[in-house]
Structure 1
Amino acid sequence: MKNRLMDLLLVTLGSLIAAFGFNTMFLDNQIASGGMVGLAVVFNKLLGWSPSVILMLSNIPLLILCYFLLGPKVFLKTVYGAMIYPLAINLTSSFPTITKNPLLAVIFGGIIVGLGLGLVFRGNSSTGGTGIITQIIHKYTPLSLGASVILIDGISVLMGLIAFSPDRVMYSTLALMVISYVINRLETGFNASKMVMIISKETEQIKEHITKVADRGVTQIPIQGGYSTTDKTMLMTTISSYEFPALHQHILSLDEAAFIVVLPASQVFGRGFSMTKHHLQKDDIILPM
């Protein structure tokens, strides 16, 4: 029950934020950033229709399709977001346009809308619209979900040519890219970490530095050289990005010929990352079985 209330809170807050970005950045600047929201900008320009009304009316048949083609479970996750988002757009429609500069509108509007939509997705929901269509295409065709999104949002952006100049359509494409980037960052996390694998003749000193100075866990992995067939030990650890330069410098001070592989770790859970870091115990050094 608690998780469900948190999901509803995230969807509501995210919808309000995304709607604020849409009304204050995109609408008057004629930025049609894909999806039904982009089409709402087009129809607002051509026919003067209210974006909130367009979204609400278009979501009704799409939700019916969602129920029958994607199932009741997906429908229940989608219906609240699909209804609250048009209401949020209507509630924030009185806010003035913050900037008339289309490039600033694309960048900051994309950040605000992306943040709002990211919170909606965090709440295990969506704003309906073309998101329902992409899920249906993904389910009933060989196209991947990513390809379906590009296809539908691409068509939506190109439809902007009906009402706007090519320049505005290009701005809309940039806005779509900014929104996608922000949503992706929210999903993977802003605190980028690195997984570091080290092969060196100074294994013990490096391991001691990682555990006592960097205060991170480390794993010893037995390996064998492919050319020399010599048995060696590889150390593997995960550290925050800002900690890596100091670790890298210390390793090279011990062994200039150390072999170091650094990989991005978009999400890391556990002590020192998603949990409070305490002093490391012996059990934090994971030895090979």
Structure 2
Amino acid sequence: MRWKSKIIWDITTFKKFLVILLGTAISGWTINALIIPHQFMSGGVSGVSLLVYYLAGFPPVGLSILLLNVPIFILGWREVSLRFVVFSLVGMVGLSGFVFLFTGATFPIQDDMLAAIMAGVFLGVGGGLAFRAGGSQGGVDIISIFLNRRFSIRYGHTLFSINIFILVVTGLVISIDRALYTMIMMFVSSSVLDRIQAGFNQRKSVMIISNAARTISQGILHDLHRGVTILKGEGGYTGQPQDVIYTVTTMLELGRLKELVWTKDPSAFIIVNDTVEVFGKGFRLQKSEDFSRKARKVVEKAEIP
């Protein structure tokens, strides 16, 4: 089932497309100028494409990224919101195109450590721009969303597992040195992306004060597939009853949530807070269930005379 998500084709949407393309341009240049010359890897589909290129010498990395993403986007078309698929498609096609365009690009760094750090910085900037605009640069995010909705597997677990697989294979078939440099690059990239995006995988608790609370809550339920709680409040000045929406989302979805809210109520008041941990369906279901089972056992033991 594909979750419906309306795309508003206005100047704001096209500006977001441009930001995504800017991010993919930076990433595409980085792959050619820093990653390939030093035989580093990358995360996700790009990493698999680079691994194939290093081992076989073909197909070109840009073409490989495109081909590997096709089945993923077919899956995403059926399982993920149309809006996210379209925005991610822009990022994927942009990344493939810019990898082709910047073929042969160079950067005057010979030292592998410096190259790994700089590659991480540029990849973090490129990925951060894409995520801020509500898109991504490949299909791994779609796989993560699919597995999360079908099997309650956390986004971070999927991304981590894929990247660990790439690093292990790199260490085995290329060299341990390349794998270690890639780890440094990924760490720097993740840190920079967090700075830009304030942690796209971080959970955010959001309170929304709006006269269209019911309409907005339905949009969150059906478009973002996130749970909502309606709190009963009262306007401090007017004294009138006021519904307040409370929900928890990921940083990746926060931009989409803001757009959804302001589309339905441009005057809505939105409060966003950092959340250290979230346990429950859609986030850390397994740990929450494990904790519940342990709690029940403690209670049962306490009740035994």
**Interval of TM-score (by shorter of Structure 1 and Structure 2):** 0.5 to 0.7
> What secondary structure, in the 3-state scheme, does the structure 2 residue paired with 1:96 have?
coil
Q: In 2, are the aligned partners of 1:67 and 1:74 still within 8 Å (CA)?
A: no
Matching of residue 47 in structure 1 with residue 56 in structure 2: yes
Aligned counterpart, 1:113:
123
Would the alpha carbon gap of residues 76 and 132 (structure 1) be closer, same or farther in structure 2, given more than 3 Å must change?
same
Q: In 2, are the aligned partners of 1:55 and 1:129 still within 8 Å (CA)?
A: no
Distance 1:8 1:73 in 2: 12
Q: In 1, are the aligned partners of 2:45 and 2:69 still within 8 Å (CA)?
A: no
Given the alignment, which residue of 30, 37, 44 partners 1:35? 44
- Per the TM alignment, residue 13 of structure 1 is displaced from its structure 2 partner at its CA by 0.8
Q: Give the share of equivalent positions with the same residue, in percent.
A: 24
More displaced 10-residue stretch of structure 1: 113-122 or 88-97:
88-97
Q: Which runs of 5+ in 2 are unaligned?
A: 1-9, 200-272, 275-305
Q: In 2, are the aligned partners of 1:33 and 1:173 still within 8 Å (CA)?
A: no
Given the alignment, which residue of 42, 67, 79 partners 2:77? 67
Aligned counterpart, 2:170:
160
Q: In 1, are the aligned partners of 2:44 and 2:159 still within 8 Å (CA)?
A: no
Aligned counterpart, 2:35:
26
Post-superposition Cα deviations, 1:139-197, rounded to whole Å, max 9, x if no partner, equal: 222322122221122222222134311121111111111111111100129xxxxxxxx
The AA in structure 1 aligned to 2:192 is: V
Would the alpha carbon gap of residues 135 and 153 (structure 1) be closer, same or farther in structure 2, given more than 3 Å must change?
farther
> What secondary structure, in the 3-state scheme, does the structure 1 residue paired with 2:137 have?
coil
Structure 2 counterparts to residues 187-202 of structure 1, below 5 A? 187-188=197-198
Aligned counterpart, 1:6:
15
- Per the TM alignment, residue 87 of structure 1 is displaced from its structure 2 partner at its CA by 0.2
Q: In 1, are the aligned partners of 2:84 and 2:134 still within 8 Å (CA)?
A: no
Post-superposition Cα deviations, 1:52-83, rounded to whole Å, max 9, x if no partner, equal: 01101111111101111224232222111111
- Per the TM alignment, residue 97 of structure 1 is displaced from its structure 2 partner at its CA by 4.4
Distance 2:72 2:102 in 1: 24
Aligned counterpart, 1:197:
none
Distance 1:111 1:125 in 2: 19
Matching of residue 185 in structure 1 with residue 185 in structure 2: no
Would the alpha carbon gap of residues 68 and 138 (structure 1) be closer, same or farther in structure 2, given more than 3 Å must change?
same
> What secondary structure, in the 3-state scheme, does the structure 2 residue paired with 1:8 have?
helix
User: TM-score if structure 1 supplies the norm length?
Assistant: 0.62
CA RMSD of aligned residues (A): 1.8
Aligned counterpart, 1:203:
none
User: TM-score if structure 2 supplies the norm length?
Assistant: 0.59
Q: In 2, are the aligned partners of 1:44 and 1:51 still within 8 Å (CA)?
A: yes
Distance 2:151 2:183 in 1: 25
> Across the two proteins, how many residue pairs are aligned to each other?
191
